[in-house]
């Protein structure tokens, strides 16, 4: 072995300029049994050192490894370089005694720039040599590499292959000992499909209930991805078969179920139900926080329920639930809206009966001045409803009624005023008191989706009161025909009083 470095080039390289095909298959070294026994026995005896000391016996496997490394070191001392310029085909298959360093020795001092096919099948190879991971460094034009029917359990590849201008390489690594595969590895192969196609068929895959295998099953059962140009060369992976466990034996990846993979069948029903309940509660809390005011209003107006979170109101006994202040231009809407509220049987005002409103064209008393009627109506009502429109702002009588109601709110120290906004009015057009009022008192838009409910809620007195607090029913005054006694002044009704009606 020590003389190999001194051998001539013809001995080392052979016919390097003319050789095209090399077939050295079905070559296995056989050792005489007696020689092997003697060889093994020599390593089992304690070896003595020059100083007389001894060391533990060396195993046969370790000794053979040492011999192989020594041979490789000696091979590196060879000065000759072999360039096989015409070699296209190498077949070194079917051998039980190929060294793990075989490919290292082969490529140490030789160049195979034109080799297209390399067959190393059935050589009992157990570990993939690193030379195959970067095949283009030694076999730049390799198109087919056969490593089938060996015992390789891992086939690692260098992803930098895509950076080189290489022909497409088909690697047959079928019928080896690869038991594990991951979705990440499949994706890696797909990204290299322009330079490398790997055949993994016939390997004894272990299809257990591991996270890696579950991800593989999810990937292969995604039918759309395998139609893409990237993944289509590896579509056969979907039909790879499992070897273990017994429940999955013979099943293809694409047909695997959790039961086949011996996964514990967990009932997700309680988790799903709990998740739905939690989501429902979260949504309910958000809705209740966002629409708490609307909920209070609707529970009261639709179901007559006063929520415990609502403060109870104390109130004095008065004739009217509200005095309605409005401009004559809005009279039609006012009469229709408030008379309808008075007629609704299921709605109750402060006196336990239907709502009762003071409408000036109906309820003002003849013989009193407008000022006295306004003052008495405001004081005799739990609320004053302001029907705020541009017509209202242009009426002096309307503004006077507003001032009286505003003063009444201050005197009673409660939210006496209720404002119904009929239309959008620029803030610059509002008097100072009205601006403050809109920020302080109940304010309802006519176009609100629940306007009717908001108005009832604002008018209703929701406090608890004893029977003694209930006022005696006051008979409605007889309707007054005012057609001949009313004239319109500044958009408002003024009662034309007879001389005998004037009180000084």
Quick one: tokens of 248? 């999955």
Q: b or e along 260-274 (b: 16 or more beta carbons within 10 Å of the residue's beta carbon)? A: bbeeeeeeeeeeeee
Query: Do 230 and 277 share a structural domain?
Result: no
Q: How far is CA 71 from CA 24, 40, 107, 290, in A?
A: 20, 20, 14, 83
Name the average pLDDT for the chain: 80
Residue 51 lies in a domain: no
Query: Do 435 and 298 share a structural domain?
Result: no
Max CA distance (Å), the chain: 153
Q: Can the peptide bond before residue 245 be classed as cis, meaning omega within 30 degrees of 0?
A: yes
Domain boundary among 309, 334, 365: 309
3-state class (DSSP) for residue 241:
strand
pLDDT at 459 over 80: yes
Query: Do 272 and 144 share a structural domain?
Result: no
How far, in Å, CA of 418 to CA of 403, rounded?
13
- Give, in degrees to the nearest 5, the angle at Cα 304 between 474 and 412: 50
Residue 487 lies in a domain: no
- pLDDT, tens digit, 9 for 90 and up, residues 288-343: 888 888 888 888 888 878 776 655 555 667 889 899 999 989 999 999 999 988 88
- pLDDT, tens digit, 9 for 90 and up, residues 130-187: 899 999 999 999 999 999 999 999 998 888 888 888 999 999 999 999 999 999 999 9
Which of 34-43, 93-102, 123-132, 378-387 has the lowest average pLDDT?
34-43
Query: Do 363 and 325 share a structural domain?
Result: yes
Which pLDDT does position 164 carry in this prediction? 87
| CATH code, domain with 131 | 3.80.10
pLDDT at 504 over 60: no
| Inter-residue long-range contacts of 6-11, CB under 8 Å, 24+ positions, other chains counted | 7/78, 8/80, 9/80, 9/82
pLDDT at 450 over 80: yes
Please state the domain count of the chain: 3
Which pLDDT does position 413 carry in this prediction? 61
Query: Do 280 and 395 share a structural domain?
Result: no
Which pLDDT does position 295 carry in this prediction? 87
Residue 362 lies in a domain: yes
Element (H, E) at 60: helix 60-75
Q: How far is CA 267 from CA 50, 213, 263, 273, in A?
A: 72, 21, 12, 11
- pLDDT, tens digit, 9 for 90 and up, residues 10-25: 777 888 889 999 999 9
Query: Do 296 and 168 share a structural domain?
Result: no
pLDDT at 46 over 90: no
Which pLDDT does position 463 carry in this prediction? 57
Query: What DSSP character marks residue 424?
Result: -
Which pLDDT does position 23 carry in this prediction? 93
Q: Report the chain's C-alpha Rg in angstroms.
A: 50
The whole domain housing 304 covers 267-309
Domain boundary among 460, 480, 499: 460
pLDDT at 471 over 80: no
8 Å CB contact between 93 and 125: no
Residue 376 lies in a domain: yes
Name the pLDDT band for 490 (thresholds 50, 70, 90).
very low
Query: Do 341 and 297 share a structural domain?
Result: no
Which of 53-62, 137-146, 414-423 has the lowest average pLDDT?
53-62
Name the pLDDT band for 481 (thresholds 50, 70, 90).
very low
Residue 503 lies in a domain: no
- pLDDT, tens digit, 9 for 90 and up, residues 207-217: 999 999 999 99
How far, in Å, CA of 90 to CA of 143, rounded?
12
Residue 120 lies in a domain: yes
pLDDT at 26 over 50: yes
Please state whether beta strands 89-91 and 82-83 pair in parallel, antiparallel, or not at all (unpaired): unpaired
Query: Do 353 and 275 share a structural domain?
Result: no
Query: Do 274 and 207 share a structural domain?
Result: no
pTM value?
0.49
Which pLDDT does position 303 carry in this prediction? 81
Q: pLDDT higher for 286 or 504?
A: 286
Q: How far is CA 319 from CA 286, 356, 363, 383, 474, in A?
A: 41, 8, 12, 11, 7
273 CB contacts (<8 Å, ≥6 apart)?
none
3-state class (DSSP) for residue 199:
strand
Which pLDDT does position 198 carry in this prediction? 93
Quick one: tokens of 318? 């008065």
Strand partners, 421: 388, 445
Name the pLDDT band for 96 (thresholds 50, 70, 90).
confident
Residue 110 lies in a domain: yes
How far, in Å, CA of 173 to CA of 203, rounded?
9
- pLDDT, tens digit, 9 for 90 and up, residues 174-192: 999 999 999 999 999 999 9
pLDDT at 356 over 60: yes
- Alpha-helix residue ranges (DSSP H) falling in 291-412: 292-303, 331-343, 360-363, 370-379, 390-393, 396-412
Which pLDDT does position 466 carry in this prediction? 39
> In the predicted model, what is the mean pLDDT of residues 265-272?
72
Query: Do 287 and 377 share a structural domain?
Result: no
Which pLDDT does position 251 carry in this prediction? 94
Query: Do 447 and 340 share a structural domain?
Result: yes
Residue 83 lies in a domain: yes
Query: Do 399 and 288 share a structural domain?
Result: no
């Amino acid at each position: 072995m020590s003389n190999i470095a001194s051998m001539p080039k013809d001995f080392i390289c052979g016919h390097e300029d003319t050789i095209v095909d090399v077939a050295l298959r079905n070559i296995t070294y056989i050792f005489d049994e007696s020689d092997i026994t003697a060889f093994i026995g020599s390593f089992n005896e304690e070896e003595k050192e020059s100083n007389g000391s001894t060391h533990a016996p060396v195993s046969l496997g370790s000794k053979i490894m040492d011999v192989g490394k020594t041979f490789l070191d000696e091979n590196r001392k060879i000065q000759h370089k072999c360039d096989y310029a015409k070699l296209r085909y190498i077949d070194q298959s079917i051998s039980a005694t190929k060294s793990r360093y075989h490919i290292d020795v082969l490529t140490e001092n030789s160049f195979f720039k034109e080799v297209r096919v390399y067959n190393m099948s059935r050589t009992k190879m157990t570990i993939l040599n690193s030379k195959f991971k970067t095949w283009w460094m030694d076999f730049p034009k390799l198109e087919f590499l056969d490593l089938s029917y060996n015992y390789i359990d891992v086939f690692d590849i260098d992803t930098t292959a895509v950076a080189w201008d290489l022909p497409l390489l088909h690697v047959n690594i079928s019928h080896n000992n690869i038991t594990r595969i991951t979705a990440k590895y499949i994706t890696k192969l797909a990204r290299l499909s322009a330079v490398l196609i790997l055949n993994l068929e016939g390997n004894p895959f272990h299809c257990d209930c591991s996270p890696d295998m579950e991800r593989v099953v999810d990937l292969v059962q995604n039918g759309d991805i395998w139609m893409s140009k990237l993944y289509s060369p590896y579509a056969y992976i979907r039909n790879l078969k499992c070897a273990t466990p017994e429940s999955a034996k013979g099943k293809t990846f694409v047909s695997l179920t959790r039961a086949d993979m011996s996964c514990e069948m967990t009932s997700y029903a309680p988790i799903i139900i709990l998740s739905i309940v939690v989501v429902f509660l979260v949504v309910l809390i958000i809705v209740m926080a966002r629409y708490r005011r609307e909920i209070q209003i609707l529970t009261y107006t639709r179901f007559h329920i006063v929520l415990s979170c609502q403060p109870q109101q104390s109130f004095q006994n008065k004739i009217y639930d509200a005095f309605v202040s409005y401009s004559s231009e809005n009279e039609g809407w006012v009469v229709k809206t408030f008379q309808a509220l008075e007629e609704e049987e299921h709605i109750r005002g402060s006196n336990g009966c239907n709502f009762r409103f003071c409408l000036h064209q109906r309820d003002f008393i003849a013989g009193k001045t407008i000022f006295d009627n306004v003052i008495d109506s405001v004081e005799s009502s739990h609320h004053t409803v302001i029907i705020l429109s541009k017509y209202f702002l242009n009426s002096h009588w309307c503004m006077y009624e507003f001032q009286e109601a505003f003063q009444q709110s201050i005197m009673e120290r409660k939210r006496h005023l209720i404002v119904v906004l009929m239309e959008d009015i620029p803030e610059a057009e509002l008097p100072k008191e009205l601006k403050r009022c809109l920020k302080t008192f109940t304010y309802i838009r006519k176009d609100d989706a629940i306007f009717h409910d908001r108005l009832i809620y604002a008018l209703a007195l929701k406090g608890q009161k004893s029977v003694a607090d209930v006022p005696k029913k006051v008979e409605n005054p007889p309707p007054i025909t005012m057609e001949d006694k009313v004239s319109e002044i500044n958009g408002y009704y003024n009662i034309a009083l007879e001389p005998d009606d004037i009180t000084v």
